[in-house]
């Protein structure tokens, strides 16, 4: 037997093949009609350019769709899902090869390719599909996910959602039956390359040929009808995520993790924010369709974990219901399908987006709905009224006179730039509101200034010319106030010819670095932990005083998940002699929010447990005596959290800059 001649007849014992082609017409019509129904809904959204940089997009597709990167973060289920996905791709590929060979006359189903791919690989893929589908049914039926994360909204699968996996299972079993019957009927010399089919063929070997042929023909047509029904079901069931998930991943925001909010054109916009589905972009509507209801976003949401009304999965699924059930005439979106309380409970921590396997963008949707509440209807939590007023009048959230913004620097010999920043200055130190006015944070500001001075860094501040960067206003939906503050800051910074900025606040850092370019302010912005790490690495700052402490480090959301800065603070801490660094279970990308982002730090937290106390409890479980932070918002929340838990005798919050100051010596 020459393997180069190996092949098999595709239409063995099948006559009237025209019936097969005729049946394709209604199948294709129903399938395409189903797709059109989805497309029609996505087209309701506003335009958004998500087709640029195809190379980068294909790379993402490879990582998250083909590579199943986030799915595989959960070992058992992830492997089963990935196996199902990959085997389906292989089996679909096998169908295309057979079509090309038989219908297009391209002779590829032969030789080694036939033996290895079309026989061995597809046989094993079929077996794996059966095992994965069996695992799927066990998980959904016998050990269906329960508990808090799905409690507010059960998975809610419709009949086609259940029928389709069942049909897939039946189709695979039919495939093995057909393979076995053909092996026996044709006395296939290459049967050993199809191990699953060969085993089954061994059990059928005693049947007369006439019986084999009849059973084969009946089973072939049944199999064909089954696969047609599967195709028809796809766009009408949850399995449509086979299409929407890769599409959504391809169209994802390429600028993540920075993931800036889009700038609103306040001059020309007819509506602010989103209060109807058509106020979202088409990509946001595609997001809704791509959700698999897996609940991973709920699993990591600090609001959900502390018993709040907010469940990010429900935000997405309720929006989808609203979109697909055409519920708009029946009830308003905000306060109807989407609870206002849930919208205000979001800390914009982005943990949901980090966890979502299909790269759904929850936070921009939540902020856009907040924008509508604030800017269209003036509906927001009462605490925010004072914050908005203070930001507008005094350019800080607490109504301190802005002239006192630089008072912390008295006696420290720090230049205050009244005009242009001199050329020999390395960094403008952007202090931020907490660092300028809050008593605890002012200590961090002074510590950082001393560290920079010890390393011989030439820097200065703007003093009263600095204003709040606008982040709390923007995340709370007050884009008008944000742009007012941000434009004033951009004018000041451009007027002073500022190029490099260092700041100790991740919210200032994120805004200045990623969002000010939208308003004409492009600067090189670094976080203070990055600068300290560079100074240590470059030998300009020596950390040679021992600190006998066990420390656990909390990753601020706007530094870590938003900007990918995880290593510099750890680098600094690890270089302090005597200091032992222990990681919390939820660290780096999986860090748990302090509770202050998205202007939450300025709002009451009446529902559920307190997020800051939950995070302090996580820090306590490490046994560390110091909770190191790199954000004044986190510091403030943890001060309260430590007090709230009565943990002041066993845990203290300290900024990385304070520890670096302790570990370094003043210059002579």
Q: Is the Cβ of residue 499 or residue 586 nearer to ligand SF4 in the bound state?
A: 586
Nearest CA among 631, 626, 624 for reference residue 662: 626
Residue ranges of E strands in 251-325: none
Gyration radius of the chain's alpha carbons: 30
Q: Of the two residues 294 and 498, which places its CB atom closer to ligand SF4 in the complex?
A: 294
Q: Any idea what DSSP says for residue 192? A: G
Contact between 350 and ligand SF4 per CB under 6 A: yes
Cβ proximity to ligand SF4: between 94 and 246 the closer is: 246
**Among the listed residues 219, 171, 229, the one whose alpha carbon sits nearest the alpha carbon of residue 13:** 219
Cβ 410 to ligand SF4 shortest distance, Å? 39
Q: Which of 568/641 has CB closer to ligand SF4?
A: 641
Residue 247 is a binding residue for ligand SF4 (CB under 6 A) = no
> Which range touches ligand SF4 (CB under 6 A), out of 60-68, 292-300, 570-578, 619-627?
292-300
Q: How far apart are CA 581 and CA 573, in angstroms?
A: 7
Choices 140-148, 288-296, 519-527, 546-554 (CB under 6 A): range interacting with ligand SF4: 288-296
* Residue 472: its H or E element: helix 471-475
Among 41, 200, 252, 363, binds ligand SF4 (CB under 6 A): 363
Q: Which residue, 249, 325, 361, is CA-closest to 41?
A: 325
Residues near 2 by beta carbon (within 8 Å), at least 6 away in sequence: none
Nearer residue to ligand SF4 within complex by CB, 168 or 346: 346
Which one, 158 or 211, has the nearer CB to ligand SF4? 158
Per CB under 6 A, the segment of 60-68, 312-320, 484-492, 648-656 that binds ligand SF4 is 312-320
Strand ranges of the sheet holding 652-655, from the earlier edge strand across to the other edge:
580-582, 550-553, 626-629, 652-655
Decide: residue 22, CB within 10 A, 0-12 exposed, 13-18 middle, 19+ buried: exposed
Could you tell me the smallest distance in angstroms from the CB atom of residue 476 to ligand SF4? 13
Q: Report if residue 312 touches ligand SF4, rule: CB under 6 A.
A: yes
Candidates 41, 181, 232, 351; binder of ligand SF4 (CB under 6 A) is: 351
Closer residue to ligand SF4 in complex, CB, 178/349? 349
According to the binding rule CB under 6 A, does residue 356 interact with ligand SF4? yes
Is residue 150 near ligand SF4 by the rule CB under 6 A?
A: no
Helix intervals (H) in 301-438: 302-305, 312-324, 340-344, 351-355, 362-371, 377, 382-394, 432-437
Phi, psi of 491, deg, nearest 5: -60, -45
Which member of 182, 313, 465, 528 binds ligand SF4 (CB under 6 A)? Answer: 313
Stretch that binds ligand SF4, among 60-68, 120-128, 268-276, 296-304 (CB under 6 A): 296-304
Number of residues that bind ligand SF4 (CB under 6 A): 29
Residues between 182 and 201 that touch ligand SF4 (CB under 6 A) = none
Q: What share of the chain is helix, strand, coil (3-state, %, to 5)?
A: 60, 5, 35
Q: Is 411 left (phi over 0), alpha (psi -120 to 50) or beta?
A: left
Closest distance to ligand SF4 from the beta carbon of 531 (Å): 28
Asked whether position 568 contacts ligand SF4 by CB under 6 A, the answer is no
Q: Is 628 a binder of ligand SF4 (CB under 6 A)?
A: no
Which H/E stretch holds residue 582? strand 580-582
425 vs 611 by CB, closer to ligand SF4: 611
Q: Across the strands, what pairs with 550?
A: 580
Locus of tokens 């690989």: 121
Contact between 303 and ligand SF4 by CB under 6 A: the answer reads yes
- In angstroms, rounded to a whole number, what is the distance separating the alpha carbons of residues 133 and 169? 7
Of residues 84, 181, 230, 360, which one binds ligand SF4 by CB under 6 A?
360
What does the binding site for ligand SF4 look like in residue numbers (CB under 6 A)?
Answer: 291-297, 300-303, 310, 312-313, 316, 346-352, 355-358, 360, 362-363
């Amino acid at each position: 037997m020459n393997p180069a001649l190996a092949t098999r007849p595709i239409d063995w014992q099948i006559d009237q093949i025209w019936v097969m082609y005729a049946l394709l017409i209604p199948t294709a019509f129903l399938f395409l009609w189903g797709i059109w129904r989805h497309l029609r809904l996505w087209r309701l959204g506003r335009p958004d350019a998500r087709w640029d940089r195809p190379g980068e997009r294909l790379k993402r597709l490879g990582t998250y769709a083909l590579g199943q990167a986030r799915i595989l973060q959960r070992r058992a289920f992830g492997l089963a899902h990935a196996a199902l996905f990959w085997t389906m791709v292989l089996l679909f590929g096998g169908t295309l090869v057979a079509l090309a060979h038989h219908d297009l006359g391209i002779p590829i189903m032969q030789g080694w390719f036939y033996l290895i791919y079309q026989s061995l690989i597809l046989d094993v893929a079929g077996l794996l599909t059966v095992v994965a589908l069996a695992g799927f049914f066990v998980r959904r039926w016998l050990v269906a996910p329960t508990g808090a994360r799905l409690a507010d909204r059960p998975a809610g699968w419709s009949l086609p959602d259940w029928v389709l996996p069942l049909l897939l299972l039946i189709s695979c079993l039919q495939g093995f039956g057909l393979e076995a019957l053909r092996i026996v009927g044709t006395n296939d010399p290459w049967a050993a390359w199809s191990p699953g089919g060969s085993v089954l063929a061994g059990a059928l070997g005693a049947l007369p040929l006439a019986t084999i042929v009849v059973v084969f023909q009946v089973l072939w047509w049944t199999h064909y009808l089954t696969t047609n029904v599967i195709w028809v079901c796809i766009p009408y069931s949850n399995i449509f995520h086979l299409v929407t998930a890769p599409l959504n991943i391809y169209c994802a925001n390429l600028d993540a993790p920075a993931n800036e909010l889009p700038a609103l054109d306040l001059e020309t916009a007819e509506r602010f924010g989103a209060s109807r589905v058509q106020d979202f972009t088409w990509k946001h509507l595609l997001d809704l369709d791509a959700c698999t209801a897996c609940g991973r976003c709920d699993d990591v949401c600090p609001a959900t974990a502390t018993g709040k009304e907010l469940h990010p999965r429900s935000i997405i699924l309720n929006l989808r219901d609203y979109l697909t059930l055409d519920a708009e005439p029946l009830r308003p979106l905000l306060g109807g399908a989407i609870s206002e309380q849930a919208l205000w409970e979001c800390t914009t921590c982005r943990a949901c987006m980090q966890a979502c396997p299909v790269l759904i963008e929850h936070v921009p949707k939540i902020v856009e709905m907040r924008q509508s509440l604030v800017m269209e209807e003036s509906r927001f939590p009462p605490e925010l009224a004072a914050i908005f007023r203070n930001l507008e009048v005094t350019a800080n959230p607490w109504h301190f006179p802005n002239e006192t913004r630089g008072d912390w620097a008295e006696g420290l010999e720090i230049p205050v730039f009244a005009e242009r920043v001199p050329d020999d200055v390395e960094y403008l130190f952007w202090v931020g509101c907490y660092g300028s006015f809050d008593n605890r944070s002012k200590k961090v500001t002074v510590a950082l200034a001393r560290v920079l001075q010890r390393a011989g860094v030439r820097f200065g501040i703007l003093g009263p010319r600095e204003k709040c960067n606008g982040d709390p206003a923007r995340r709370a939906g007050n884009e008008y106030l944000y742009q007012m503050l941000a434009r004033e800051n951009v004018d000041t910074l451009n007027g002073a010819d500022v190029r490099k900025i260092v700041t100790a606040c991740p919210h200032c850092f994120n805004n200045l670095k990623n969002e000010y370019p939208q308003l004409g302010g492009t600067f090189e912005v670094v976080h203070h932990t990055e600068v300290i790490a560079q100074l240590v690495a470059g030998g300009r700052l020596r950390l040679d005083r021992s600190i006998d402490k066990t420390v656990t480090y909390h990753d601020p959301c706007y530094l870590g998940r938003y900007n990918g800065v995880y290593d510099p603070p750890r680098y600094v801490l690890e270089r302090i002699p005597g200091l032992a660094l222990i990681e919390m279970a939820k660290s780096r990308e999986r860090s748990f929010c302090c509770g202050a982002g998205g202007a939450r730090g300025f709002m009451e937290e009446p529902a559920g447990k307190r997020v800051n106390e939950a995070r302090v409890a996580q820090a306590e479980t490490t046994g560390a005596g110091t909770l190191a932070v790199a954000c004044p918002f986190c510091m403030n929340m943890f001060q309260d959290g430590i007090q709230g838990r009565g943990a002041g005798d066993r845990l203290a919050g300290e900024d990385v800059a304070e520890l670096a100051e302790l570990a370094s010596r003043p210059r002579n």
